[in-house]
Structures are given as C-alpha cells and as structure tokens.
C-alpha cells in the first residue's frame, strides 16, 4: 500500500530544521534528519513545555433519541439521554497537547459558571497541565452546544448547534494577570501557540510579545479572524478559506500563488495551509513547496476541532526538534486520526505511531 502522506515536493532542498537557526525554531536539540522515521520524533514529545494562549470555550454535546413529532411545531421531539462537555477552541489545542504527552501551560479566561467549573475539573485530571493559567472571570463561559439525535444502534447526527458568546471586555486586572503569567513562564517554554478565535483573550500586546519570542522559540499561530496580527511568527496554520482571505486573492488563483503571497506579507518562516480532502500545502521561506495528500480515509466522520489538532501537533513536533516538513507530516497523520472520531477529539502518541505504521503496510 502506498504511503498516502508522501507529499509531492518542489525545490528539493532539505526542509530547514528549527534547531539549526534560532529564527526558524527551537535551539538546543540535536536536529533529526528529515529522512529518519518520524516515530523517533514522537518519542521526543513527552515533557516538552508548550504555552497556549487563546480563547478557551466549552463544547457541550447533548445526545438524545427521536421518538415522535411535536404537536407544537413540525419538528421531531428528541428524548434526552446524556450530556458531555469537552474543552473547545484553544481548550481543544491544550487537550491535544496533553494527549500527545506535552507539559502544557494554558493562558486564557474561563467563566465562574457551571460550564467553567466543569472545564476546570476536566483539566485537573491531568498531572501535566499548569492550572495557574486558567484565569476565572466573573461571567459566563463561552459555549457551543450541539444536539445530536439518533436511534440506539445508529450514529447520532447533529441536529442543531447553539452558541453562547459573551459580550464582555475582560478587565484591565484580568488582562494583567494573563500577561504577567506569560512573562513569568516564557523563559522556560519550548514553544508557544496562539489560538485566537476572536473572543478577546488575544490582543495586539499579546501578539507583539509572542512575536518577539519567535526570534529564538517556536511560535505557531492560528487565528480565525485576525491572522495579520500573527506576522513574524515561526509558522501559521490557516485553512484554505482563511488563506485566500489573508492573501486577498480569489479562488481563481492557484494555491501556490496564495501561499507565496502570504509568506511575503506575513514574514513567517513557514506556512501550513490545511485544505480538507486535498490535504495540506507547506510553504517555506526559502521557496520550497510541499503538497501533502490526506492521511487515512477520505470518508471522514467529523472535522470538528481538526485545525486545533494540526496546530498542536505541528508546534509540538517543531519544539521537539523536528523540521517543518516532518512536523507537517505528523500533523497530517494527527488530523487523519481525529477526523475519524465524532465530536471534539484528540489523538495520542500511540495512535499517531499506529497510523504511521499502517500507512506503510
């Protein structure tokens, strides 16, 4: 069976390894040869210290069974069965890093409500997460509630999603706590992730501070609405739609033209564009372009949170001494695992290794 993640390459010079140049990532680790087995890089994940700054939300899943039509409206009545809550957005990035073996230092705001309390209890199960970075504010936690319905022996399908955003500006004191903690821990980190979903945790001051760290640390950025603020980072990971918007080009333009324009605009060392069933495209500052086909099956189960998984996996790989191409391959495998799971999901190091081995069979 052909290895589906063996990407097509243009400009065949070796992908630059972060440890070789402080501008391109983390120093202090002996770089892995790009031709070495990527499994060796995964073994370096354990204990790497990664700081995640971003919008932490609660993904709520309500499961039920449809059993009759409503007399009140032409809708199905769903009988409640159970409810689950998972970390979402930046919380999902944190969760994926924990599952992969990293020591994670989150920085974000969580409300003082029931959803916030559940998120705190969820993360407190892990011994490798720094709980001091969860800043509780006097308000509600941002939630995305998905209602899924289906018969007992069938896969439940999402019926509707209800978002509860907070119309709140975090106080000067709350922001100062986050920034103070960031400055305290930054010298001890192997890498940083900015996960900006537009809910206010990341501002221009945070972006500027982390941008300065990119001179000698791995800094990976993911932003839903404000990618331009991530200029000067080590790597950014937009999806295809976000990349086109950032480049100000329409879809008549080739993805390589889009990628090259973003590299010029953003002054990043690397750009990884996730492209759904078309895989990923990696652009390096030196001019190299790598198109990586999707890993795993084409018939995905659920793409919820896959971008968070990609961001977590690529940042952890770079912070562990990997080069950009190998880190992107690992992120591609990671995405291939989580999209086959329902809901906001994570991937473990063992699952990654199994996915890689099965692709070589």
Q: Does residue 48 sit within a domain?
A: yes
Mean pLDDT, rounded, for 334-339: 89
Residue 2 lies in a domain: no
Q: What is the pLDDT of residue 137?
A: 93
pLDDT band at 2 (very low <50, low <70, confident <90, very high): very low
Give me the pLDDT at residue 21, please.
Answer: 39
CB neighbour class for 66 (10 Å; exposed up to 12, middle 13-18, buried from 19): middle
Q: How confident is the model at residue 39 (pLDDT cuts 50, 70, 90)?
A: confident
273 within 8 A of 261, measured Cβ to Cβ: no
- Do the domain assignments include residue 151? no
Residue 68 domain-assigned (yes or no): no
Assigned domain for 76 exists: no
Domains of the chain: total: 1
In order of 87, 131, 348, the CA distances from 123 in angstroms are 9, 8, 16
pLDDT, tens only, 248-281? 999 899 999 999 999 999 999 999 999 988 899 9
Q: What is the dihedral of CA 90, 92, 97, 99, to 10 degrees?
A: 160
The 10 Å Cβ neighbour count of residue 139 is 16
Residue 148 domain-assigned? no
Q: How far apart are CA 174 and CA 300, in angstroms?
A: 40
User: Is 146 contained in some domain?
Assistant: no
Question: Considering only 124-128, 247-251, 304-308, which range has the smallest mean pLDDT?
Answer: 304-308
Question: So which residues are the catalytic ones?
Answer: 308
Q: Average pLDDT for residues 6-23, to the nearest whole number?
A: 44
Asked if 52 and 316 count as a contact pair (C-beta separation under 8 A), the reply is no
pTM: 0.88
Bigger pLDDT: 129 or 300?
Answer: 129
pLDDT band at 340; cut points 50, 70, 90: confident
What pLDDT does 350 receive? 92
Q: Is the pLDDT of residue 31 over 50?
A: no
Average pLDDT over residues 167-172: 83
pLDDT at 144 over 50: yes
pLDDT at 37 over 70: no
**Residue 289's CATH number:** 3.40.1190.20
Nearest to 273 by CA among 261, 265, 264, 283: 283
Per the structure, the complete domain to which residue 93 belongs is given by 8-57+87-141+166-359
pLDDT band with cut points at 50, 70 and 90 for residue 35: very low
Is 338 a member of any domain? Answer: yes
């Amino acid at each position: 069976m052909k290895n589906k993640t063996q990407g097509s390459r243009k400009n065949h010079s070796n992908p630059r390894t972060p440890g070789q140049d402080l501008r391109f990532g983390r120093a202090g680790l002996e770089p892995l040869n790009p031709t070495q087995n990527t499994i060796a890089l995964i073994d370096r994940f354990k204990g790497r210290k990664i700081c995640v700054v971003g919008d932490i939300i609660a993904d709520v899943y309500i499961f039920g069974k449809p059993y009759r039509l409503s007399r009140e409206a032409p809708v199905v009545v769903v009988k409640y069965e159970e409810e689950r809550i998972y970390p979402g957005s930046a919380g999902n990035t944190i969760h994926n890093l924990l599952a992969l073996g990293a020591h994670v230092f989150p920085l974000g705001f969580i409300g003082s409500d029931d959803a916030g309390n559940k998120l705190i209890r969820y993360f407190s199960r892990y011994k490798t997460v720094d709980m001091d970075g969860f800043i509780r504010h006097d308000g509600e936690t941002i939630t995305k509630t998905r209602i899924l319905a289906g018969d007992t022996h069938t896969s439940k399908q999402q019926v509707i999603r209800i978002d509860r955003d907070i119309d709140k500006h975090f106080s000067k004191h709350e922001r100062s706590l986050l920034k103070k903690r960031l400055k305290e821990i930054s010298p001890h980190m192997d890498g940083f992730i900015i996960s900006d979903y537009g809910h206010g945790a990341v501002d221009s001051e945070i972006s500027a501070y982390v941008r300065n760290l990119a001179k000698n640390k791995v800094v990976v950025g993911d932003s839903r609405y404000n990618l331009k603020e991530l200029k000067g980072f080590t790597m950014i990971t937009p999806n295809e739609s976000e990349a086109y918007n950032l480049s100000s080009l329409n879809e008549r333009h080739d993805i390589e033209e889009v990628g090259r324009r973003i590299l010029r605009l953003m002054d990043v060392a690397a750009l990884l564009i996730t492209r759904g069933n078309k895989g990923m495209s990696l652009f390096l500052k030196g001019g190299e372009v790598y198109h990586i086909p999707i890993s795993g099956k084409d018939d995905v189960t659920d793409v919820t949170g896959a971008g968070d998984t990609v961001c977590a996996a690529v940042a952890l790989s770079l912070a562990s001494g990997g080069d950009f191409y190998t880190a992107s391959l690992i992120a591609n495998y990671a995405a291939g695992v989580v999209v086959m799971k329902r809901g906001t999901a994570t991937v473990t190091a063992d699952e990654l290794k199994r996915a890689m081995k099965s692709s070589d069979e």
